[in-house]
């Protein structure tokens, strides 16, 4: 008798989850697909980064090669004086090569939260670009016609400084539209907008990323990354992801 | 010395009651002040030293060879268990603890600062140096899952974090790769050892091993002795037994504190000497006058057969009665004062910014050492003795017998 | 005038008592004057050292820089600040600095530190940087990429004079900045943290490489009279307007100022103990002499001298004695203070301790301040006369007949 009861209960449960899964993808699913849509197997991009401060703006151009989320290589191409500076990221480590001083420097842990190239991104943002699905519990906080609203709470062990991340995900592309970072007290620290989604072959990708820091000491700051050109899932030479590449591909 | 002479001595003190009282009060006051000063200053000095020893250096610390000039995970004590066995065999050693240390970055959503990550065993640290006594806020515990951290008070203030807040530690692990660990602050420690309060984050030793990929080995073994005076002896024995290690006493690790203690001792000595010299002058004046006044009296006594030795003894008794009463009064008041300050402490928190600069606690507890009272006794006796000698010479030269004939 | 005449006669008549009193009081006055001069002098020296090594007497920053030290809160127009400061009276020297957090990279490893652009010639007057040189040479204008760095930083980077290292940092326009530097000189200020992080280049070069032309993080201003730092800072504030903030060292180094205050308090407490004893000794001596003259007083009373007159005579006597000793002591103490002001006392043994507290000073000049010496003399005078009042009044109360028969 009791066995039968349990069985029916189980079957009901199964049916219920199955039916909801058909209606909307599960929250974890959304997060995983967003992540996949943002990185892809491999990616080559040409980017322009514009850093605005109270005092003016500065433009940089660069090329980036990435394989998955763990390995990437960046070369600065503009302005001329910075041209040839390269960065290599493998897992959690980051190296930098500066042609002017002909030196490869491993960025020490103590510099990880310093600004990257004067932007509102930190070295850590580039390196740890932390895996949201691994580091956060996601919960659906709401949805409308076009967007899911996700609340991401860090898992207890996750080495991330944010107290909460709120992510607007476009239903059409399953790409983030706006990501808001909060501290533990619930104060908004920074907002990252993903704008102007364009098609690149099979894939859609946001081509304008805008980072808006909210803290008082960074008032008037804004960093925009504009993706001029991108090729996804093409073959990328493994040679880019070695320390030798830093100097070799500097030119 | 006959009972009569004793009675005469006491009577002559009584006859000049106010004057005798003044001398006694003078000695009482000077002793009181000196004892209170000595106990409080020593309390202060020892407190600063004790803080450094308990929270950091131990009486003796053992490092891997070359660690102090080039610290890092590549210079660890590889076989702490073997060393522990050596330490356990030495009866003079009270306790020892192992710590793993790596410098790294401590971050919140708003701030990032460099700091020292210290992997410790809280229970062992408590048995060792009563680390829990330094707990300023929160609890002395890393929590059930050992994901807590105890943070130095000044570091916490600079990063504007409080108990319950999350911090992320990043550091290079043994393979030189940056690793990160999220922890929640369970407590804030205020050791008044600036080096720690400014930068230390205490985390669970096992967690630190996991994070830094150090399966075995520690950065430092800190040792406490039953008797701090044996530091040098024990250190030499340990260094001989562990030739491949750096064995250092607290005085070598904190030379400034050792110097501070020595300076304080010299300072106390000079002050005490000054006070007793002046006090001796006071006693001297009174004894001299009381001898001169009684020249006729002494002359008569000599004439009726009292020996000069007996008169000398009488003068000595008089002065020592003065000196000892002063000593007893001063020791009593000084002792009580020290007892009060050793129990309730002297609260100087209004100058806390200045005290922090010296690494001092806001409340100073006085020390009471039997030595204070013994030295004071010796000093008072010495001062009395010296101040009697000259009047006695004067007495001998004055030929009291002749004095009888004078008006 | 009569009292003075009598008083002088009496002082000479009771030569021994007078001598002891004078010696004692003069010695005490000397001690007080000298101790005060030493404490004030050493504190001033410690403070001025701490201030002069690098932080400077007055700092001018953008008004928000202290709270939010970002590239947005720089002094963006050094020219206008320069013009204002140059026309402000009471200023001996000033110069801009630009401090920037960078990554230094030697061959061995990369270390975070502070790269600062300075004007070498002006900086020489403003801080002890040039004087702290230990190897190589100090900077000059037009030195280009030649670097002047702390010995501990050099040790960490494993570089020597003449060797190369690089830095990577952020320019004022948030651009990337990096260059190769050549070590020109190595300094040791004695402040460990400073020596472990600080490095300097000529500001002309710094401005080019960091895009910092006409920019600065702060100005350092040396007032013509360092004691006038506060009013000069206030004056600067009103002249510079609300966009800038001029702060004196009393604000920027509050902890140290308080620490010196604590030290003074303990110094004066110690002196107080000594003074209490001296007060009693003088009291006792006055007591002895006054009562030795009981008969004289009795006779004076018997011939019709009123108690008030006797009182005045005795007080005049003690005032004369006190005045003489205080002047004598003041002169001796003053000469000592003056001598050790010009020939500072060296404490080589306490060097470590000073370093620990970030003071880096081992030679301690005394302060020579005539006003303070006069104040101490006045204090001693009051103390000396005060200590004689009780026996004088007490003796004066005795009835004439008793007095005449006083033994």
- The whole-angstrom distance between residue A247's C-alpha and the CA centroid of its chain comes to 26
| Same domain, yes or no: B39 and B153 | no
pLDDT in the model for residue A94: 85
User: Could you give the CA distance from residue C320 to residue C224 in angstroms, rounded to a whole number?
Assistant: 42
Label residue A19 by pLDDT band (50, 70, 90): very low
- Choose among A92, A157, A161: nearest Cβ to B179: A92
Report CB contact under 8 Å: B22, C259: no
Report CB contact under 8 Å: B182, A91: no
| Same domain, yes or no: B200 and B306 | no
Picking from B185, B209, B243, the residue at the C-terminal end of a domain is: B243
Residue B341 has pLDDT above 80, yes or no: yes
Segment B148-180, tens digit of pLDDT:
999 999 899 888 899 999 998 988 888 877 888
Average pLDDT over residues A66-92: 87
Which of residues B98 and B279 earns the better pLDDT score? B98
Residue C316 has pLDDT above 90, yes or no: no
| Same domain, yes or no: B235 and B261 | no
Average pLDDT over residues A110-128: 76
Which of residues A23 and B190 earns the better pLDDT score? B190
Report CB contact under 8 Å: A100, C178: yes
Within-domain flag for B251: no
Residue C55 has pLDDT above 60, yes or no: yes
Distance from CA of B246 to the nearest CA of A (A): 28
Query: Which positions in chain C touch B257 (Cβ < 8 Å)?
Result: 353, 356
Rounded to whole angstroms, what are the CA distances from B375 to A213, B317, B326, C296? 68, 21, 14, 43
What's the half-sphere exposure (Cβ side, CA atoms, 13 Å) at B242? Answer: 25
Average pLDDT over residues A26-47: 86
pLDDT in the model for residue A22: 43
Report CB contact under 8 Å: A113, B107: yes
Q: Are A194 and A175 in contact (CB under 8 A)?
A: yes
- Choose among C260, C277, C287: nearest Cβ to B30: C277
Residue C329 has pLDDT above 50, yes or no: yes
- Give B10's contacts (C-beta < 8 A, 6+ positions apart): B318, B321
Q: Are C105 and A101 in contact (CB under 8 A)?
A: yes
- Which region among A27-36, A124-133, C110-119, C256-265 has the lowest average model confidence (pLDDT)? A124-133
Which residue, B360, B329, B327, is CA-closest to B345? B360
Which of residues B202 and B255 earns the better pLDDT score? B202
CATH of the domain at A32: 2.50.20.10
Distance from CA of A163 to the nearest CA of B (A): 8
What percentage of residues in chain A have a pLDDT greater than 90? 28
Picking from B177, B208, B243, the residue at the C-terminal end of a domain is: B243
Report CB contact under 8 Å: A119, C174: yes
Q: Are C337 and C367 in contact (CB under 8 A)?
A: yes
Which of residues B45 and B59 earns the better pLDDT score? B59
Within-domain flag for B248: no
User: Could you give the CA distance from residue A158 to residue A155 in angstroms, rounded to a whole number?
Assistant: 5
Query: Which positions in chain C touch B348 (Cβ < 8 Å)?
Result: 262
Segment B300-333, tens digit of pLDDT:
888 888 888 888 888 888 888 889 999 999 999 9
| Same domain, yes or no: B100 and B206 | yes
Place of tokens 């890393």: B142
- Choose among A92, A112, A162: nearest Cβ to B109: A162
- ipTM reported for the complex, 2 dp: 0.76
| Same domain, yes or no: B236 and B281 | no
| The CA-based dihedral angle spanning residues A178, A181, A186, A187, taken in that order and rounded to the nearest 10 degrees | -100
Label residue B404 by pLDDT band (50, 70, 90): low
Q: Into how many domains does chain A fold?
A: 1
Distance from CA of B282 to the nearest CA of C (A): 5
pLDDT in the model for residue A128: 58
Residue of A nearest to C111 (CA): A108
pLDDT in the model for residue C350: 55
Within-domain flag for B59: no
- The whole-angstrom distance between residue B49's C-alpha and the CA centroid of its chain comes to 7
Which of A71-80, B286-295, C355-364 has the largest mean confidence? A71-80
pLDDT in the model for residue C223: 93
Domain carrying residue A157:
25-68+120-235
Residue of A nearest to C105 (CA): A105
> Domain ranges in chain C?
2-52+256-404, 56-252
Residue C47 has pLDDT above 50, yes or no: yes
Domain carrying residue B97:
66-243
pLDDT in the model for residue C187: 93
Label residue C67 by pLDDT band (50, 70, 90): confident
| Same domain, yes or no: B190 and B213 | yes
| Same domain, yes or no: B205 and B120 | yes
Average pLDDT over residues B71-82: 87
pLDDT in the model for residue C234: 92
SS (H, E, C) chain B: CCHHHHHHHHHHHHHCHHHHHHHHHHHHHHHHHHHHHHHHHHHHHHHHHHHHHHHHHCCEEEEECCCCCCCCCCCCECCHHHHHHHHHHCCCEEEEEEEEEEEEEEECCCCEEEEEEEEECHHHHHHHHCHHHHEEEECCCCCCCCCEEEEEHHHHHHHCCCCCCEEEEEEECCCCCEEEEEEEEEEEECCCCHHHHHHEEEEEHHHHHHHHCCCCCECEEEEEECCHHHHHHHHHHHHHHCCCEEEEEHHHHCHHHHHHHHHHHHHHHHHHHHHHHHHHHHHHHHHHHHHHHCHHHHHHHHHCCCCHHHHHHHHHHHHHHHHHHHHHHHHHHHHHHHHHHHHHCEECHHHHHHHHHHCCCCEECCCCCHHHHHHHHHHHHHHHHHHHHHHHHHHHHHCHHHHHHCC
- Which region among A34-38, A210-214, B141-145, C19-23 has the lowest average model confidence (pLDDT)? C19-23
Burial tier of B146 (Cβ tally within 10 Å: 0-12, 13-18, 19+):
middle
Region for C358 from its dihedrals, namely left if φ exceeds 0, alpha if ψ lies in -120 to 50, beta otherwise: left
User: Could you give the CA distance from residue B221 to residue B84 in angstroms, rounded to a whole number?
Assistant: 9
Within-domain flag for A243: no
pLDDT in the model for residue B291: 82
B contact test, residue of A89, A159, A187, A191 with most B CBs within 10 A: A159
Query: Which positions in chain A touch B103 (Cβ < 8 Å)?
Result: 110
Label residue C347 by pLDDT band (50, 70, 90): low
What would you report as the CA-atom Rg of chain C, rounded to the nearest whole angstrom?
A: 31
| Same domain, yes or no: B232 and B347 | no
pLDDT in the model for residue B340: 94
User: Could you give the CA distance from residue A61 to residue A95 in angstroms, rounded to a whole number?
Assistant: 19
Within-domain flag for A20: no
Query: Which positions in chain A touch B108 (Cβ < 8 Å)?
Result: 161, 183-184
| The CA-based dihedral angle spanning residues B120, B123, B126, B127, taken in that order and rounded to the nearest 10 degrees | -120
Q: Which chains border B (3 or more CB–CB pairs < 8 Å)? A: A, C
C contact test, residue of B27, B278, B284 with most C CBs within 10 A: B278
Q: What count of CB pairs under 8 Å joins A to B?
A: 63
Q: Into how many domains does chain B fold?
A: 2
- The whole-angstrom distance between residue B20's C-alpha and the CA centroid of its chain comes to 36
Q: Are C374 and C353 in contact (CB under 8 A)?
A: no
pLDDT in the model for residue C309: 82
C contact test, residue of A81, A117, A118 with most C CBs within 10 A: A118
Segment B225-235, tens digit of pLDDT:
999 889 999 99
SS (H, E, C) chain C: CHHHHHHHHHHHHCHHHHHHHHHHHHHHHHHHHHHHHHHHHHHHHHHHHHHHHCCCCEEEEECCCCCCCCHHHCECCHHHHHHHHHHCCCEEEEEEEEEEEEEEECCCCEEEEEEEEECHHHHHHHCCCHHHEEEECCCCCCCCCEEEEEHHHHHHHCCCCCCEEEEEEECCCCCEEEEEEEEEEEECCCCHHHHHHEEEEEHHHHHHHHCCCCCECEEEEEECCHHHHHHHHHHHHHHHCCCEEEEEHHHHCHHHHHHHHHHHHHHHHHHHHHHHHHHHHHHHHHHHHHHHCHHHHHHHHHCCCCHHHHHHHHHHHHHHHHHHHHHHHHHHHHHHHHHHHHCCEECHHHHHHHHHCCCCCCEECCCCCHHHHHHHHHHHHHHHHHHHHHHHHHHHHCCHHHHHCCC
Residue C184 has pLDDT above 90, yes or no: yes
Which of A163-172, C103-112, C293-302, C350-359 has the largest mean confidence? A163-172
Query: Which positions in chain C touch B275 (Cβ < 8 Å)?
Result: 273-274, 277
Enumerate the β-bridge partners of residue C165. Answer: C181
Average pLDDT over residues C113-117: 93
Picking from B213, B243, B273, the residue at the C-terminal end of a domain is: B243
Q: Are C205 and C117 in contact (CB under 8 A)?
A: yes
| Same domain, yes or no: B192 and B297 | no
Which of residues B15 and C178 earns the better pLDDT score? C178
Segment C116-146, tens digit of pLDDT:
999 999 999 999 899 889 999 999 999 999 9
Residue A12 has pLDDT above 60, yes or no: no
Residue C357 has pLDDT above 60, yes or no: no
Instruction: Using an 8 Å CB-CB cutoff, list residues of chain C that contact chain B.
Output: 20, 24, 31, 112, 254-262, 266, 269-270, 272-274, 276-278, 280-281, 283-285, 287-288, 291-292, 349-350, 352-353, 355-358, 394, 407
Q: Are B75 and B66 in contact (CB under 8 A)?
A: yes
Residue B115 has pLDDT above 70, yes or no: yes
């Amino acid at each position: 008798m009791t066995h039968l009861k349990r069985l029916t209960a189980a079957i009901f449960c199964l049916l219920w989850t199955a039916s909801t899964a058909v209606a909307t993808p599960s929250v974890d699913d959304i997060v995983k697909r967003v992540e996949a849509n943002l990185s892809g197997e491999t990616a080559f991009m040409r980017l322009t980064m514009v850093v605005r401060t109270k005092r003016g703006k500065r433009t940089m151009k660069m090329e980036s090669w990435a394989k998955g989320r763990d390995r990437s290589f960046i070369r600065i191409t503009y302005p001329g004086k910075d041209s040839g500076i390269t960065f290599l990221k493998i897992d959690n480590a980051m190296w930098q090569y500066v042609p002017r001083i002909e030196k490869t420097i491993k960025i020490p842990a103590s510099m990880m939260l310093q600004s990257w190239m004067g932007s509102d991104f930190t070295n850590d943002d580039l390196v740890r670009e932390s895996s949201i699905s691994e580091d956060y519990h996601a919960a659906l906080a709401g949805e409308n016609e076009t967007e899911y609203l996700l609340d991401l709470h860090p898992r207890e062990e996750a080495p991330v400084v944010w107290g909460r991340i709120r992510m607007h995900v476009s239903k059409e592309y399953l790409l983030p539209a706006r990501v808001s970072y909060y501290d533990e007290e619930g104060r908004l620290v920074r907002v990252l907008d993903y704008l102007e989604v364009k098609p690149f072959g099979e894939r859609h990708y946001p081509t304008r990323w805008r980072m808006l820091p909210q803290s008082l000491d960074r008032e008037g700051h804004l960093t925009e990354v504009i993706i001029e050109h991108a090729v996804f899932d093409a073959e990328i030479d493994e040679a880019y992801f070695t320390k030798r590449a830093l100097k070799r591909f500097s030119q | 010395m006959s009972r009569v002479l004793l009675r005469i001595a006491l009577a002559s003190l009584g006859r000049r009651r106010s004057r005798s009282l003044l001398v006694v009060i003078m000695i009482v006051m000077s002793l009181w002040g000196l004892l209170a000063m000595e106990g409080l200053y020593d309390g202060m000095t020892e407190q600063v030293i004790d803080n450094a020893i308990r929270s950091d250096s131990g009486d003796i610390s053992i490092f891997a060879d070359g660690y102090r000039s080039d610290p890092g995970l590549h210079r660890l004590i590889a076989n702490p268990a073997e060393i522990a066995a050596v330490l356990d065999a030495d009866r003079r050693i009270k306790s020892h603890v192992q710590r793993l240390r790596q410098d790294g970055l401590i971050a919140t959503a708003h701030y990032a600062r460099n700091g020292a990550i210290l992997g410790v065993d809280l229970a062992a640290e408590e048995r060792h140096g009563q680390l829990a006594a330094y707990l300023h806020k929160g609890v002395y515990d890393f929590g059930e899952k050992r994901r807590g951290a105890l943070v130095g008070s000044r570091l916490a203030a600079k990063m504007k974090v409080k108990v319950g807040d999350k911090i992320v530690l990043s550091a290079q692990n043994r393979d030189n790769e940056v690793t990160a660990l999220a922890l929640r602050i369970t407590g804030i420690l205020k050791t008044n050892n600036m080096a720690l309060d400014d930068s230390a984050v205490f985390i669970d030793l096992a967690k630190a091993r996991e994070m830094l990929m150090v399966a075995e080995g520690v950065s430092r073994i800190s040792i406490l002795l039953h008797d701090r005076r044996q530091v040098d002896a024990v250190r030499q024995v340990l260094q001989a037994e562990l030739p491949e290690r750096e064995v250092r006493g607290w005085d070598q690790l904190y030379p400034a504190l050792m110097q501070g203690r020595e300076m304080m001792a010299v300072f106390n000595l000079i002050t005490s000497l000054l006070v007793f010299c002046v006090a001796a002058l006071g006693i001297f004046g009174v004894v001299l006058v009381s001898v001169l006044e009684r020249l006729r009296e002494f002359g008569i006594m000599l004439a009726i057969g009292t020996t000069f030795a007996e008169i000398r003894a009488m003068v000595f008794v008089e002065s020592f009665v003065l000196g000892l009463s002063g000593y007893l009064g001063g020791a009593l008041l000084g002792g009580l004062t020290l007892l009060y300050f050793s129990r309730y402490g002297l609260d100087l928190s209004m100058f806390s910014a200045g005290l922090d600069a010296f690494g001092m606690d806001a409340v100073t507890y006085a020390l009471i050492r039997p030595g204070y009272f013994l030295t004071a006794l010796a000093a008072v006796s010495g001062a009395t003795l010296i101040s009697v000698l000259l009047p006695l010479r004067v007495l001998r030269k004055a030929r009291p017998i002749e004095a009888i004939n004078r008006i | 005038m009569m009292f003075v005449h009598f008083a002088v006669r009496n002082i000479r008549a009771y030569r021994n008592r007078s001598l002891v009193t004078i010696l004692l009081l003069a010695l005490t006055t000397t001690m007080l004057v000298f101790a005060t001069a030493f404490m004030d002098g050493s504190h001033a020296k410690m403070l001025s050292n701490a201030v002069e090594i690098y932080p400077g007497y007055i700092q001018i920053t953008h008004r928000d820089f202290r709270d939010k030290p970002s590239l947005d809160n720089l002094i963006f127009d050094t020219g206008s600040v320069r013009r204002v400061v140059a026309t402000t009276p009471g200023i001996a020297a000033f110069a801009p600095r630009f401090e920037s957090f960078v990554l230094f990279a030697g061959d061995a490893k990369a270390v975070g530190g502070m790269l600062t652009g300075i004007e070498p010639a002006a900086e020489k007057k403003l801080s002890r940087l040039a004087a702290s040189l230990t190897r190589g040479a100090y900077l000059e204008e037009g030195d280009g990429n030649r670097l002047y760095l702390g010995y501990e930083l050099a040790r960490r980077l494993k570089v020597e004079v003449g060797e190369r290292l690089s830095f990577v940092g952020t320019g004022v326009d948030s651009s990337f900045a990096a260059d190769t530097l050549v070590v020109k000189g190595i300094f040791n200020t004695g402040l460990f943290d400073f020596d472990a992080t600080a490095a300097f280049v000529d500001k002309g070069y710094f401005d080019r490489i960091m895009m910092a032309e006409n920019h600065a993080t702060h100005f350092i201003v040396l007032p013509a009279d360092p004691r006038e730092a506060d009013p000069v800072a206030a004056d600067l504030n009103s002249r510079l307007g609300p966009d800038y903030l001029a702060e004196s060292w009393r604000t920027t180094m509050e902890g140290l100022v308080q620490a010196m205050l604590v030290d003074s308090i303990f110094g004066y407490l110690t002196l107080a103990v000594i003074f209490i004893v001296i007060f009693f000794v003088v009291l006792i001596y006055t007591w002895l002499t006054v009562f030795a003259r009981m008969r004289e007083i009795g006779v004076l009373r018997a011939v019709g001298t009123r108690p008030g007159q006797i009182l005045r005579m005795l007080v005049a006597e003690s005032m004369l004695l006190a005045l003489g000793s205080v002047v004598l002591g003041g002169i001796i103490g003053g000469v000592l203070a003056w001598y050790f002001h010009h020939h500072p006392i060296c404490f080589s043994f306490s060097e470590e301790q000073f370093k620990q507290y970030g003071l880096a000073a081992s030679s301690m000049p005394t302060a020579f301040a005539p006003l303070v010496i006069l104040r101490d003399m006045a204090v001693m005078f009051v103390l000396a006369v005060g200590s004689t009042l009780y026996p004088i009044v007490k003796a004066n109360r005795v009835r004439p007949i008793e007095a005449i028969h006083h033994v």
